[in-house]
Amino acid sequence: MANSLRRWANSGQRLLLTAGIAAVWVSVVTPTLQGGAAGRAQAQTGSPQALTLDADVQEANAKTGVVTARGNVRINYPARQITATSTQAQYFSQERRIVMTGNVLVKQSGSNSISGEVVTYLIDEGRFVALPKESQQVRSVYTIIDSNPGPVSP
């Protein structure tokens, strides 16, 4: 895989990273001025099960297999009903994890959410680990459907 990544890094073409049921097309794009606005890098997907990554800049390290996205990062993973925003995200293909940093907000299944300064998503486990900014807390919001709504006793 390292030789393939090395050839890709020198070719300027797209790279397909496969993560189980998720496949992500990644382009290394630097912002360009078009009509007065900075261009955006966007991962292109080939499947409705794919994870989509949008950012101002994306780059892939051929030696480590790490994809880094910076600036206005947006992640969409419809197969698990996950959307997320952050300042930066790194996809570690060998460990199958995504680390999002900077004002992270992850939403899942509609109104459930978790926010913090650093949120790690462990893909195979379907688990989030969140850390707050210094002297603050992580915030999670969960919608709980009460199957027996009735009067609350004091």
Q: Per residue in 26-37, pLDDT tens?
A: 333 333 333 333
Structure-token pair, residue 134: 């210094």
Q: Residue 107's domain spans which residues?
A: 2-141
- Rounded average pLDDT over 25-48: 40
Confidence (pLDDT) at 130 = 94
What are residue 18's DSSP bridge partners? 23
pLDDT reported for residue 146:
79
CATH number, domain containing residue 19 = 2.60.450.10
Residues paired with 139 in a beta bridge: 115
Q: Is there a domain that residue 91 lies in?
A: yes
pLDDT at 154: 67
Binned at pLDDT 50, 70 and 90, residue 153 comes out as low
- The DSSP output letter for 78 is G
pTM of the model: 0.66
The tokens for 72 are 């206005």
What is the reported pLDDT for 110? Answer: 72
Closest listed residue to residue 64, CA positions, set 17, 2, 116, 110? 2
As a whole number, mean pLDDT of residues 113-138 equals 94
Query: Is 152 within a domain?
Result: no
| Greater model confidence, 26 or 82 | 82
Q: Is residue 150 part of a domain?
A: no
Asked if residue 151 is part of any domain, the answer here is no
pLDDT average, residue stretch 66-88: 96
Q: Is residue 62 part of a domain?
A: yes
Q: How many domains does the chain have?
A: 1
Q: Which two tokens stand for residue 43?
A: 């991962």
- Assigned domain for 115 exists: yes
Res. 71 pLDDT band, cuts 50 70 90: very high
Answer with the residue of higher pLDDT: 30 or 111.
111
Q: Which two tokens stand for residue 21?
A: 């049921």
Domain membership of residue 147 (yes or no) is no
Question: Is residue 125 in a domain?
Answer: yes
| CA-CA-CA-CA torsion sign (70, 76, 79, 80) | positive
Rounded Cα distance between 43 and 76, Å, is: 11
Average pLDDT over residues 123-143: 92
Which is more confidently placed, 42 or 89?
89
Would you say residue 118 has pLDDT above 60? Answer: yes
